[in-house]
Amino acid sequence: MRVFTIHARDGQKPRARLVPEGFSVLALLFGALWLLWRGLWLVLLGYLALAVAIAFLPGPWEGPAGIALQLLLGFHAYDLERWTLRRRGYAMGGVVSGADEEEATLRALRARPALARGMMA
């Protein structure tokens, strides 16, 4: 079972999103592209700044520092997404689990039917 956090925003265009918990292999492998795909612009700028700084490290430190950056991104990718959602006005609405995102969405909607407007948008 996977665990997801529910993030919802009220207003004229209500929105709701599920963010999984755990390690992101795609963020580890694709870094900047994953951040761009998820719309994490500020995080992407910080990531690129760190990548440029790592490029200027002395030879033996560049490789391990780059690997460390990718590992950190893999471990904290979804935390950074939650941080971005909080900055955009989303409030954490709870935690739900399911075999996959679809089942977790159904469980979230069963528990809180008001989320249906935001999930479908």
pLDDT at position 109 is 87
Instruction: Quote the CA–CA distance of 20 and 107 in Å, as a whole number.
Output: 14
Q: What is the pTM of this model?
A: 0.87
Residues of the chain with pLDDT under 70: 12, 118-121
Closest CA to 27 of 17, 19, 18, 37: 37
pLDDT of residue 118: 65
pLDDT of residue 85: 95
pLDDT of residue 119: 66
- Tokens 């761009």 belong to 36
pLDDT at 120: 55
> Which pLDDT score is estimated for 30?
97
Quote the distance between the C-alpha of residue 3 and its chain's center: 13
